[in-house]
A and B are shown apart, each in its own frame.
Chain A
């Protein structure tokens, strides 16, 4: 599940990841669901369905970490990667959201190859 308020970015990422299904040397087929609004994403979220959340930090209505916190309450096992195109202090975020793991952090813009590799690494 990808959540980013910019539709162009969700479109790009969805296409990039899905097209990698055709030629990549892994045998997994990744299905991508995109959302531009965190509230819509939260209402569609269900347990034991999604493998990985790709959440932008700067979102309208609720920030990415808040959203992640709520989603983790629904499914504690889901993996998370955060994205941002700004400058973010991970230490400050860790203090405010101690429950959220900040291990995977992607600084936009990224190449599609890098994005896919990163996602694969997280899924393994």
Chain B
């Protein structure tokens, strides 16, 4: 029973804790994912920004080439750099030690523009600077015009790249805001679930608190309490509460029975004491009644004896024969009284051990009553 209660409470709480852990881990996962998206967009901004520098560099190399202070190979190196930079921007991969994700699809239009500008620029370079190579053709073409053309193409490419960078930057801003909202939302959700767990734990454990309180009351000796119980609930703690109340009922009933028994015993004891007192009284009265007739017998016998002795003396003031008879009658009457008393006491004993035999015969009730001195 106890084990079952434990397992049920534990499983309820464990389930809630698992939900909470999943939520926390999930929150971290989601946030980390969005964070990594943010940083990858940042990387893209970085690489797209590099276009500006490479384009400017290319322009510089072209200038040098046109001046004749550098050869075409420098232009090729920078062109290759720019080419891989732009391709890497859309396809992803490792560029300049930075791991890049493919560009999000919503930026493909902007990238296409950049790429188109780049292709125009590249084609122009190939057509004008690399492919011709007819002797002196380059020289014949107006260098100023070429410079102007390349400048404008480079500016186009830089402009397109800048647009991409700006758009990516805006996207980062927007994402940051959304991330903040998401963080707050998940935080609130976590707190809510935590509060729910605490509430549920308190609710699950509430009967235990109530029972503990009731127990301490019982410990103080207050048995006139009962814990409020939910009759419909079938969970273990409700059963425990019900059992607790039943236990209190049982204890109360036992106490009541014990009290009744104690009262019965006290009553029986009192009756016994009363009987003892009555017996003592009886013995006192019996002793008194037995001693009373002895006094005349003893006293008169002594008197008569001393009178008889004195008769022999010269000194004669003796009592008459009639008086002597009177005294002897008193002695006999008291002796008879003593005998009767003795028989009465024996009768009491016979009544007590239920062996008294009644001597049933007709009698004169008046005479019987007249013999009783108090009525006489």
Report A's interface with B, CB cutoff 8 A. 6, 8-9, 11-13, 15-16, 19, 22-23, 58, 84-87, 108-113, 115
Chain B residues with CB under 8 A of A8: 293, 295-296, 330, 333-334
CB-CB under 8 A for A87 and B287, given A8-B330, A19-B307, A108-B292: yes
Residues B310 and A23 in contact, CB atoms below 8 Å apart: yes
Residues A108 and B300 in contact, CB atoms below 8 Å apart: no
Residues B284 and A86 in contact, CB atoms below 8 Å apart: yes
Residues A109 and B294 in contact, CB atoms below 8 Å apart: yes
Interface residues of B in 271-318 (CB under 8 A from A): 284-285, 287-288, 291-296, 298-300, 302-303, 306-307, 310, 315, 317
Chain A residues with CB under 8 A of B310: 22-23
Instruction: Assess whether B327 is interfacial by the CB under 8 Å rule.
Output: yes
Contact of B330 among A11, A85, A111 (CB under 8 A): A11
Chain B residues with CB under 8 A of A16: 299, 302-303
CB-CB under 8 A for A85 and B288, given A8-B334, A19-B306: yes
Report B's interface with A, CB cutoff 8 A. 284-285, 287-288, 291-296, 298-300, 302-303, 306-307, 310, 315, 317, 327, 330, 333-334
A21 to B310, CA, bound (A): 13
Contact of B296 among A9, A87, A113, A115 (CB under 8 A): A9
A58 to B330, CA, bound (A): 21
Residues A12 and B292 in contact, CB atoms below 8 Å apart: no
Residues B299 and A112 in contact, CB atoms below 8 Å apart: yes
Chain A residues with CB under 8 A of B299: 9, 12-13, 15-16, 109-112, 115
Nearest CB of B to A69, in Å: 22
Chain A residues with CB under 8 A of B296: 6, 8-9, 11-12
CB nearest neighbor in B for A87: B284
A22 to B285, CA, bound (A): 37
Extra pairs beyond A58-B288, A87-B284, A110-B295 (18, CB < 8 Å): A8-B293, A8-B296, A8-B334, A11-B296, A12-B295, A12-B299, A16-B302, A22-B310, A86-B285, A86-B288, A87-B287, A108-B291, A109-B291, A109-B298, A111-B298, A112-B299, A112-B302, A113-B302
Chain A residues with CB under 8 A of B334: 8
Chain B residues with CB under 8 A of A13: 299
A16 to B296, CA, bound (A): 10
Residues B303 and A15 in contact, CB atoms below 8 Å apart: yes
Residues B284 and A15 in contact, CB atoms below 8 Å apart: no
CB nearest neighbor in B for A83: B295
Residues B307 and A85 in contact, CB atoms below 8 Å apart: no
Chain B residues with CB under 8 A of A9: 292, 295-296, 299
Chain B residues with CB under 8 A of A115: 299
CB-CB under 8 A for A109 and B303, given A8-B333, A15-B327, A87-B287: no
Nearest CB of A to B371, in Å: 16
Residues B288 and A19 in contact, CB atoms below 8 Å apart: no
A113 to B306, CA, bound (A): 11
A84 to B292, CA, bound (A): 9
Residues B295 and A108 in contact, CB atoms below 8 Å apart: yes
A67 to B194, CA, bound (A): 97
Residues A6 and B330 in contact, CB atoms below 8 Å apart: no
Return 22 A-B CB contacts under 8 Å, by A number: A6-B296, A8-B295, A8-B333, A9-B292, A11-B296, A11-B330, A12-B295, A12-B300, A12-B303, A15-B300, A15-B303, A15-B327, A19-B307, A58-B288, A85-B291, A86-B284, A87-B287, A109-B295, A111-B299, A112-B302, A113-B302, A115-B299
Nearest CB of A to B321, in Å: 16
Chain A residues with CB under 8 A of B307: 19
A113 to B291, CA, bound (A): 18
A51 to B312, CA, bound (A): 34
A25 to B265, CA, bound (A): 65
Nearest CB of A to B11, in Å: 79
A9 to B117, CA, bound (A): 162
A35 to B370, CA, bound (A): 23
A66 to B315, CA, bound (A): 43
Nearest CB of A to B234, in Å: 72
Residues B287 and A86 in contact, CB atoms below 8 Å apart: yes
Chain A residues with CB under 8 A of B284: 86-87
Nearest CB of B to A5, in Å: 10
Nearest CB of B to A10, in Å: 10
Chain B residues with CB under 8 A of A11: 296, 330
A15 to B299, CA, bound (A): 9
A15 to B328, CA, bound (A): 13
